[in-house]
Each structure stands twice: as structure tokens, then as C-alpha cells.
Amino acid sequence: MSEPIGVWNYVRGFENLSLCDWPGKTSCIIFLGGCNLRCPTCHNFQLAWDMHSLPAIDPQRVRAYLRDRAGWLDGVTITGGEPTTVPGVGELVYEIRKAGLPVKMDTNGMRPEVVADLLQAKLVDTFAVDVKGPYAKYPALTGKAVSEIAARANMTRIFEMAAAMPDAFYFRITQVPGLTKADVAVAQSYLPPKHELKIQKFVPPRRTPENAKSNHEERRPAGNMVD
């Protein structure tokens, strides 16, 4: 197999079927490498910061799977890493949409301009946004990748979009070490009306301390799929 080029080079994992990643829907999952945060609790740290250590996924196999299984799936989840940091991610979503499947994208909300573009182009149906915690704690929760000011500005734009298009967003938070119930309540207060903050249980990542850094329940990019 030749090395994939462009956006497909960021596809470093694929899961055939998930019954829980998109609430109420069955979906397959495409994992994209790269991230703009350095969260000390990250489970997908290898995918986020060292994607080239994972095998690239053959684009033709993913296309064939989507074509052949479209009738059995409710949609496709695109996750990471952080999908909004991937150059040309809209091209990938467009290609998926040609299979006739809705798309959900996971995001940390730190690139609201990309979220807005994908919404305006009607490429992504649903965004699952990870709220890390109170804005004041974003520097600590993201490995100093995001300041309190930047977190407030970026998430405010996300919440404004969610207020205008409530069906296109849902929000979640992982109760990582150092995040109190009061912190979760503060984060909940940021959300626009008609939205709730889903609390995810923190599961310690399996790695050595020096590798530390996301805020998702543990998931591993999968290179195998059903043919």
C-alpha cells in the first residue's frame, strides 16, 4: 500500500462499530492524528502527539466499508486527537457524506472558526464538545496549551453557535483529578439554555508518567476493520 497523502495521512485509526459513541446511534469511528492541547490526562496521547508511530489506514478500505455498510450505520464519528486541527478535514467529511451518512465530530472547541465553517457548509450534523472545566483551570487542564482568556473567547463562540443551533451540539466533561463538583457546576453554567453537561467518569490512562497528557474515556485507535 502506498503512503496516503493529504488529509488521509491523518487517518490513523478506524473502529467498525460503536453503539455508545454517538448517543442513540450506531456509528463507525475514524480517528485523526494531531492535537492542539497537551492535557495531562489524555488517553489518546500517542494519536494526539505522535501519530506517525501508528500505522496509516488504507483509504480504499475505509471507503469500501462505508459504501458497503452505509445501510447498517446511522452515521460516522470523527474523533482524534483534535479533528479541527487537521488540514483539509472538510474534504474528508465531504467524502464521507457522499456515502449518504450523517457525521458527528468530537472537538475541544478551541478552533471555533473551523466548527463554524463545517456547520455553514452543512458537512457536520453534530458536534460533541469537550468542556474541560472552568476557564480559570484551562491552563492546568490543557498542559498550558490554552490561556484562560483564549478558553473563554473560543468557548463563548461555540456556545453562541449552540444557542443558535441547539440540535447541532452536545457537551460533555470528564471529572479528571483536580476537578471538583463545584468546578463542574461552573462549567455547566457556561452552557446555553436547553443544553446539559454530560459528566464522564475518569479512567486513568495506561501509560508511564513521562508520557502523560486527554480528557476522554479510554479509547484506542483500531487499525482493523471487517472486510
Mean pLDDT of 70-87: 94
SS3 133: coil
> Does residue 36 lie within any of the structural domains?
yes
Residue 218 lies in a domain: no
151-163 pLDDT per residue, tens: 999 999 999 999 9
The widest CA-to-CA distance across the chain, in whole angstroms, is 51
The strand pair at 25-32 and 75-79 is best described as parallel
**What pLDDT band is residue 20 in, cutting at 50, 70 and 90?**
confident
Give the CA dihedral 120, 126, 132, 135, nearest 10 degrees.
30
CA distances to 10, 14, 111, 155, 225 from 51, rounded to whole Å, are 8, 13, 20, 26, 19
Specify the pTM. Answer: 0.88
Which residues constitute the domain of residue 88? 6-211
Answer yes or no: is 45 within a domain: yes
Alpha carbons 107 and 127: distance in angstroms, whole number: 7
pLDDT for 222 beyond 90: no
37-46, 136-145, 150-159, 215-224: segment of lowest average pLDDT:
215-224
The answer to whether residue 106 sits within a structural domain is yes
Question: Which of the 8 DSSP states describes residue 204?
Answer: -
Residue 69 has pLDDT above 90, yes or no: no
**Is residue 1 situated within a structural domain?**
no
Domains in the chain: how many in total?
A: 1
Residue 167: burial class (beta carbons within 10 Å; 0-12, 13-18, 19+): exposed
Whether 126 maps to a domain, the answer reads yes
Written as one string, the DSSP assignment of 152-191 is HHHHHHHHHHHHHSGGGEEEEEE--TT--HHHHHHHHHHS
Q: Among 51-60, 63-72, 152-161, 204-213, which stretch is predicted with the lowest mean pLDDT?
A: 204-213
Are the beta carbons of 205 and 45 closer than 8 angstroms?
yes
Domain assignment present for residue 146? The answer is yes
| Sign of the CA dihedral running 25, 30, 108, 172 | positive
CATH number at residue 30: 3.20.20.70
- pLDDT at res. 70: 84
pLDDT above 50 (res 48): yes
217 within domain boundaries:
no
At residue 206, the pLDDT reads: 62
The more confidently predicted of residues 164 and 22 is: 164
What's the mean pLDDT in 40-66?
A: 92
